[in-house]
Structure 1
């Protein structure tokens, strides 16, 4: 019996060892299958996450562009408007000043021409002038003119003009 018990123990031990190896092999193959499935699920999840992140990033870029573009355009428009308005105002002011300078130059020329004309008139009329006093018209002669006149005012003889 002892050898039978030893044989039985040995057979049981071998059988247990064989079942244990079989269980380990089944477990290993099941774990391998589970690992492969887990890798597949993880890869799918990563692809989905990457695709969703790309979509979200694209939408965020679009929102950021819109968020910055509108104030940029408004600011640029204001800047261009201010610059154009300033330029136009300066052109108008410069033209206005130039016109006034030209007008003053023409006026100075006219005054100088008028003074020359007055000097020429006085020279060509020998100091004879016309005056109206209390509604009466008179011719004034230069001082020291030997003419018999009706009267003398300010040292100058006056002649009365007829109304005919």
Structure 2
């Protein structure tokens, strides 16, 4: 039996063959696209992991730097604060001690002045109110009022006796 091909048969065979090749090309294309997508996903995942790792490292370094900076600032600030407080405390102690010493010295001087006044008053009692003066090289004894009836000299309006220079 012999078969004869007709144009329709040839067209059908060509169509089927084209259809088969088209499906094969589509399957190969789909397979290649799937492989390409998987490779792209793998590359993207690797890139993402690398970015995450680098970001974590940079963040860790930045965190460490910030921690060092904050700690350094904190230590410097605390040191300054402690230094200022200690210096202020020491200065206040020194000033308080100085004021206390001056108060005690003033009280001692007041006692000395009072003692000197008492001594002076006692001297006036012991010398019967006589006072010695020297005016231009001449010596006088100033006597209390009423001690002399007719005094020959006066010193500062008070009765006086002139002493010899010898």
What TM-score, normalized by structure 1, do the two folds share?
Answer: 0.68
Change (3 A) 1:13 1:23: same
Q: Distance in 1 between matches of 2:90 and 2:125?
A: 49
Alignment match, 2:141: 155
| Pair 1:32-2:18 in alignment | no
Unmatched 5+ residue regions in structure 1? 129-140, 145-152, 157-164
The root-mean-square deviation of aligned C-alpha atoms, in Å, is 2.5
Deviation readout 1:37-86 (Å, 9 max, x if unpaired): 22222222222111111111111111212333333332332222222212
Q: Would you identify which runs of 4 or more consecutive aligned residues in structure 1 move more than 4 Å?
A: none
1:79-98 mapped onto 2 (5 Å cutoff): 79-98=77-96
Task: Identify if the C-alpha distance between structure 1 residues 80 and 154 changes in structure 2 by more than 3 Å, giving closer, same or farther.
Answer: farther
Task: Count matched residues.
Answer: 133
TM-score (norm 2): 0.68
| C-alpha distance in structure 2 between counterparts of 1:154 and 1:16, whole Å | 164
Deviation string 1:92-119 (CA, Å, 9 cap, x unpaired) is 1111111111111111111112222233
Can you give the 5+ residue segments of structure 2 that lack an aligned partner in the other structure? 131-138, 143-166
